[in-house]
Amino acid sequence: MAATVSELLLHWYDQHARDLPWRLPPAAPLPDDPSWPYRVWLSEVMLQQTTVAAVKPYFAKFVETWPNVKALAAADEAEIMSAWAGLGYYSRARNLAKAAREVAAMGGFPRTEAELRKLPGLGAYTAAAIAAIAFGERAVVVDANVERVVARLFAIEEPLPGARKAIRERADAITPESRAGDFAQAMMDLGSQICTTRAPKCLLCPLAEQCAAKAKGNAEDLPVKPPKKVKPERVGTAYWIERGEESAREVWLVTRQGTGMLGGMRALPDDGWSAREDGSGEPPIDGEWELLGAVSHAFTHASLTLSVARYAGELLPSGEGEWWPVEQLDDAGLPTLFAKAARLALAQD
């Protein structure tokens, strides 16, 4: 009898699985350890729209600082946001803190996909992945890599997003009852390592003989994606306000509102560009400002050019904020955008 898709894929995975800090070896039994689902959940949240290479150091930092969900639930949210700084998509960190508190209150993670979906920040893919990988539950796990593998395997030529229903149905049809977590991770590995967006390595693929797109010669064309929308361009200004001399220099930082772009993060004060497309807000102090230059940053939904202005007067800012030692600015947990702006300001010294 010919091997099934899942059998072929799992056999390949047993030999070629990536060694990742949040994974078990192939076919390993699930640990009887309450920190295991925590590690799976943490990694899957971090991996949303983020590469494995980028996630590894953050994952290591989080599990060292907060080794289990109770420890994370008890952490100050500002500390979590600071530890997350640079990883992007900061709503994930806010939802991480909320979900940790809910899970700690429940006494542990729910096992099923449906119950996991109720936690903050968990969508269909993430909930299914945690159910399968952490608990061995059969769940249909479809991320961008799996989407690509399935579209090619069955030559689904309908453009996205309309094709997603057919892709999910096909993914469901090949998902086995056993080794659910290994199968999900095997599909992800196949998509990221072999069935790549460009120049797929069909000669190395364990599913090559079953692949309808390979037979038709159009594997690289699938899945069919809609044209990319042009990102709007936004402008704004960040303000560098400093006091002190030499080693005692301090810069004025604020904490952004808990919701919205970069919410809850420490940052330089700005002109409200995130709320106003033209960044037309007033500077935090009346007086003379020196324009130092500008930095560029790409968000998912828009591109931003952020000018950086340095205060040249003697007044001090009022309102909520804190003076932060310039020598320790790396410890402030500034998001990437404001870290760029700070580097520009410091380069002008």
Q: Do residues 325 and 205 share a domain?
A: no
Domain count of the fold of the chain: 2
> CA 163 from chain center: how many Å?
24
303: pLDDT strictly greater than 60: yes
Q: Which residue has the higher pLDDT, 313 or 305?
A: 305
| Domain end call among 187, 221, 255 | 221
Strand partners, 250: 243, 325
What pLDDT band is residue 283 in, cutting at 50, 70 and 90? confident
Answer yes or no: are the C-beta atoms of 266 and 334 closer than 8 Å: yes
Answer yes or no: are the C-beta atoms of 312 and 304 closer than 8 Å: no
Ramachandran sector of residue 153 (left: φ over 0; alpha: ψ -120 to 50; beta: rest): alpha
pLDDT digits (tens, 9 = 90+) for 12-33: 999 999 999 999 999 999 999 9
Please identify which residue in the block is written with the tokens 């990883």.
87
Q: Do residues 154 and 275 share a domain?
A: no
Q: Do residues 62 and 201 share a domain?
A: yes
- Tokens, residue 237: 């200004």
Strand partners, 266: 255
Q: Do residues 158 and 272 share a domain?
A: no
* H/E run at residue 63: helix 52-65
- Tokens, residue 236: 């704004």
Q: Do residues 212 and 318 share a domain?
A: no
DSSP state of 262: T
Give the mean model confidence (pLDDT) for residues 213-230.
Answer: 93
Q: Mapping DSSP to helix (H, G, I), strand (E, B) and coil, where does residue 298 land?
A: strand
We report the CATH number of the domain holding residue 80 as 1.10.340.30
Structural domain harbouring 183 = 5-221
| Domain end call among 221, 248, 283 | 221
227 in a structural domain: no
Nearest CA among 179, 186, 153, 185 for reference residue 167: 153
The whole-number pLDDT of residue 2 equals 59
**For residues 296 and 80, what is the distance between their CA atoms, to the nearest angstrom?**
26
Please identify which residue in the block is written with the tokens 């909520």.
320
Indicate which residues carry an active-site annotation: 44
What pLDDT band is residue 59 in, cutting at 50, 70 and 90? very high
Give the mean model confidence (pLDDT) for residues 123-127.
Answer: 96
The whole-number pLDDT of residue 235 equals 92
* H/E run at residue 84: helix 77-84
149: pLDDT strictly greater than 80: yes
51 in a structural domain: yes
226 in a structural domain: no
**For residues 250 and 322, what is the distance between their CA atoms, to the nearest angstrom?**
9
- Tokens, residue 107: 């006494």
**For residues 102 and 222, what is the distance between their CA atoms, to the nearest angstrom?**
40
Angle, vertex CA 18, rays to CA 17 and CA 23, nearest 5: 95
- Helix 180-189, helix 124-135: angle, nearest 10: 120
Q: Do residues 203 and 302 share a domain?
A: no
pTM: 0.83
| Domain end call among 221, 241, 260 | 221
> CB neighbours (10 Å) of residue 248?
10
Q: Do residues 188 and 304 share a domain?
A: no
We report the CATH number of the domain holding residue 284 as 3.90.79.10
